[in-house]
Amino acid sequence: MIAAEKVVKERAVIKLPVNPIALAQDLGIEVLPKPADNQGVSGILLRRGNNFGIAYATHIDSIGFQHFSVAHELGHYFLPGHIDAVLSNGDVHASHAGFASGDRYEMEADHFAATLLMPRKLFTEAMLTAGDGLEAIEKLSAQCCTSLTATAIRFTRLTRDPMAIVISTGDRIDYCFMSEALKEMQSLNWIRKGDPLPKATATYAFNQNPERVLRADHDEDSSDICDWFGSDRSLSITEQLIGLGNYGKTLTVLTALDIEEQMKEIEEDEALVESWRPQFRR
C-alpha cells in the first residue's frame, strides 16, 4: 500500500477533508504557522532530539496551500529514507512544495501530500456524486481543501472516463495529464511540456486576455480532439477552462465522454462506404 494511503487507514480518517495539521498534532508533531518572510519556502521540517516540528508558510493566504505544505512535510516524516536524506546537513529542512521542484525527495513528498489529502477510497467515492469535468473538479477541490490544480491531476489519474487536463501560460502549454482511458485511444500525440497552445481553441483565446486569467473567469466551448492531440479522426470534445488567478496560469479540462459512440458512428460509416466499393471495381 502507498505510504500516504497507509497513514489514512491507520489514523482512521473516514471523511473529507483530511486535516494534515490535526493528523500531525495527533502524532505529537508540533505545527506552527510561519511568518511570511521567506517566499520561496512552503514549509519547514524541524528535528529536536527525537521530536519533530512543522512550520508552514502563510504568505499565500489559502487553506489549500497551507494544508498541502504541512502534508508535504508529513511526507518527509513518513516516507522511507526521507528523514536521513532531507535532514542530513542538520536538523532543519526547508521545502518547496507544489510540484515545482525537480528534486527527487521534494517530488515524492508532493505526491505523498496529494495522496494523503485525496486518498483513493474517499476521493473515488466523492467522485461518484461530483459530476463531470471542471464542475466536478471544483466541487472536489472545495471538499478536500486542495488546489484546483492538485485536484485536477488526482481526478485525471482516478477517473475511468477519457479526459485530459492542460495547464497553460500565455500561448504555451506547461503540462498535460491524460486519463488512462484517453491514453488507450490510438493515434493520439501526447502533448509535451512547452508545446504551443493550439490556436483554434477557447483556451488560446482566453489566454490572450491576462485580466480574465487573473479574475479566475470561466469559459467553455466544444473543441476538436485533432486540435489538441493531432488525431487522424475529427472527434468533438468539451473544453472547459478557468483562470488560476495570481498563479497566472489557466486550467483546461478536456472531456470526451461520448467519444466511443462517435468512433462507432465513424466506423459504421466507413464500413458502409467499404461495402459499396466492390461494385465500382467492375
Contact residues for Zn ion (CB under 5 A)? 95, 106, 109
Which residue in the shown chain puts its C-beta closest to Zn ion? 95
Smallest separation (angstroms) from Zn ion to the CB of 77: 10
Long-range pairs, 51-56, Cβ under 8 A, ≥24? 52/77, 53/29, 54/24, 54/29, 54/30, 55/31, 56/31, 56/32
b/e map 35-66, b = 16+ CB within 10 Å = eeeeeebbbbbbbeeeebbbbbbeebeeebbb
| Closest distance of CB 93 from Zn ion, Å | 6
Least CB distance to Zn ion at residue 106 (A): 5
Beta carbon nearer to Zn ion, 23 or 127: 23
The nearer residue to Zn ion, 106 or 138, going by C-beta atoms, is 106
Q: Which is nearer to Zn ion, 95 or 252 (CB)?
A: 95
Residues facing residue 79 across a β-bridge:
none
Quote the least distance from Cβ 4 to Zn ion, whole Å: 15
Closer residue to Zn ion (CB): 69 or 223:
69
Closest CA to 151 of 136, 129, 132, 169: 136
- Whole-number minimum distance, CB 40 to Zn ion, in Å? 12
H-type helices in 39-103, by residue range? 63-78, 82-86
- Looking at the Cβ atoms of 54 and 163, the one nearer to Zn ion is 54
The number of beta carbons lying within 10 Å of the beta carbon of residue 242 is: 22
